[in-house]
Amino acid sequence: MEKTWRWFGPNDKITLGMLRQIGVEGIVTALHGIPNGDIWPLEEIERIKHMIEEHGMRWSVVESLPVSESIKYVGPDRDALIENYKVSLANLGKAGVKTVCYNFMPVLDWARTDLEYPNPDGTSNLYFNRAEFAYFDVRILKRPGAAEQWDALTIERMNRLAETMTPEKEAKLVENIVIKTQGFVSGNFSEGDANPVEKFRSLLKLYEGIDKDMLRENMKYFLEAVMPVCNEYGINMCVHPDDPPMPVFGLPRIVTCDEDIEWFLNAVPDEHNGLTFCAGSLSAGAHNDVVKFAKKYASRTHFVHARICTVMPGGDFRESSHLDPRLIDVIRTFETVRPDVPMRVDHAPLMLGDDKMGYNAGYSFHGRMLALGMVSGIMATIKQEKR
Ligand code: DNO
């Protein structure tokens, strides 16, 4: 696989020069300064591309060209926003940037409750605590009907949690779920939002009455609209699985399991309609067997996220080591059948001073560098075995 790295643009503290030194071949990035829904100008795409190439690497993947909320719930400006999306895609195609990652998750991109969950060795990781997530839903957001949608065990844990909750802990939960995880993904929230909980409520309202089938239809409509541009320029679209792979806040989610993946691939049976194989997001659902999925979906995968989760009894999950045997098997499959597919490591621990640097959640330097070293070692071993 091609060794890539998510770089957050010229303001990223981790520079292109540093990445070149640690064996990165390709860059994964976006035009982070352009508001969601606006056209990505060709000149700006080319400027970033040249910057990357001057450092001896290439712009391998766009992550993400965000799909505006209105395209997902069908707002009045849906078609205008799809037209903008097509122009951005065409500009990327003209510049020769041909793999585009996006997601189709309503309101919230990925979700975690704890961004610095301590490990026994002094490092820390991202963590998803189901009871804390339910607490946010039921007690902070106060979503009507929320309590009835959670299982009895989670509600019991949530009630126990409530006994030790403080306003500070509540504020931290809001910051983790709404601001810190969403602030850098060009989505709905940013640092400094005055009332993120209220904003969250109004976004949820947009989806009233939208069920799974409707969201699927909206995704199909979007993909059918952009496929002609993808065919003209040879662009591969690759949807990121829902993280975690389950419905949240009563919102439908449609890239969560085997049946979902089959559905969207078959609904628009074009080779340019593909998957970002995020082993981490998929493995956060105990129902998903990522080793099996890798074999099944390798041919429609255009981008790989190398990380893996362990689901605990009760449904909490944490990021596991990049040396987890399941991840080794996933890497073996892609290294064997898709040796050129771009791959980036993801969600590595905070270690050796990473916590002082203010990196985006999940995107430490030392942790990711160690993870890339591990994955590179696995890849080299697999190559050697095949000789
Ligand atoms: C989180 C990321 C996601 C991903 C988007 C793709 O760490 O994996 O935010 O970039 O969902 O659109």
Cα(348)–Cα(363) distance, rounded to whole angstroms? 7
Ligand 1 centroid–CA 326 distance in Å is 21
Residue 330 corresponds to which tokens in the numbers above? 């996933």
pLDDT at 41 over 90: yes
Identify the pLDDT of residue 98.
98
pLDDT at 309 over 90: yes
Q: Please name the amino acid found at residue 387.
A: R
The Cα diameter of the chain in Å comes to: 60
What is the 8-class DSSP label of residue 150?
S
42: enclosing H helix or E strand: helix 42-54
Tell me the mean pLDDT in the region 68-73: 97
Q: Is 55 a catalytic residue?
A: no
Identify the pLDDT of residue 193.
87
- State the sign of the Cα–Cα–Cα–Cα dihedral 267, 97, 72, 301: positive
Residue 386 corresponds to which tokens in the numbers above? 């095949």
Q: By the 8 A CB rule, do 309 and 236 touch?
A: no
Cα(323)–Cα(326) distance, rounded to whole angstroms? 8
Ligand 1 centroid–CA 258 distance in Å is 19
Query: Ligand 1: which atom is nearest the Cα of residue 347?
Result: 7
User: Three-state SS for 349?
Assistant: coil
pLDDT at 259 over 90: yes
Identify the pLDDT of residue 378.
98
Give the β-pairing of 2-6 and 342-345. Answer: parallel
318: enclosing H helix or E strand: strand 317-319
pLDDT in tens, 151-185: 999 999 999 999 999 999 999 999 999 999 999 99
pLDDT at 187 over 90: no
User: Three-state SS for 251?
Assistant: strand
Q: Is the CB of 240 under 6 A from ligand 1?
A: yes
From atom 1 of ligand 1, which residue's Cα is the shortest distance away?
110
pTM: 0.97
Ligand 1 centroid–CA 109 distance in Å is 7
Ligand 1 centroid–CA 163 distance in Å is 34
Marked catalytic residue, from 137, 233, 347, 359: 347
Q: Is 322 a catalytic residue?
A: no
